[in-house]
Amino acid sequence: MDVRHFKLERGNKITDWTPAPEDIQNALENKTEDSDFDGYKETVSNNLKDITDSAFGDEDSLAKRLSSVSTEFGNLSTEYDKLSSNIKTYMSFDGALVLGNSENGNNVTITDTQVQFKDNNNVVGYIGGNGLHVDNYLSFGAFMFYQRTNGHFTLKYLKKESGE
């Protein structure tokens, strides 16, 4: 067994570690001058400026980019307003989904129990209650299916006008 660099202490309290006197002397002899730190600080500052300039450009370039982004945002906002207006004109939700122009009353209204077809805000037909209900008549191309006054249904051929 080889024991080296031991320290003998007196009492029941251990003293903290201390550097060897020769380590203190070496540190003092190799002390870096303040001017070396100033040069290092300037190098770091220049490198940081180069990095920020390459990422963002100079102040004028950055201002131009911000202006361009602001203009693009304004354009997107205008487009959003147009689309939103169109959606609000042809689609709404007020207890039921309404598809169609809300101003003229011709639309399709979807509730949890029916799909209603409206003409001038009057329900002219609906799907619900296990069936399709149509008021007045139902037309298919050149044919019209309608209820007569006696309650019977008639399929009628609609004559096409010449040129149609």
Structural domain span for residue 140 = 94-157
pLDDT classification of 35: cutoffs 50, 70, 90 = low
Comparing 36 with 137, the larger pLDDT belongs to: 137
The per-residue pLDDT for range 87-99, each reduced to its tens digit, is 888 888 878 898 9
Q: Is residue 153 part of a domain?
A: yes
Q: Of 25-29, 98-102, 106-110, which range is least confident?
A: 25-29
DSSP assignment of the chain: ----S-----SS-PPPP---HHHHHHHHHTPPPHHHHHHHHHHHHHHHHHHHHHHH--HHHHHHHHHHHHHHHHHHHHHHHHHHHHHHHHEEESSSEEEEETTTTEEEEE-SS-EEEEETTEEEEEEETTEEEESSEEEETTEEEEE-TTS-EEEEEPPPPTT-
Q: Is residue 8 part of a domain?
A: no
| Domain shared by 70 and 125, yes or no | no
Comparing 152 with 62, the larger pLDDT belongs to: 152
Count of structural domains, the chain: 2
Last residue of a domain, one of 88, 118, 145: 88
Is residue 58 predicted with pLDDT exceeding 70?
no
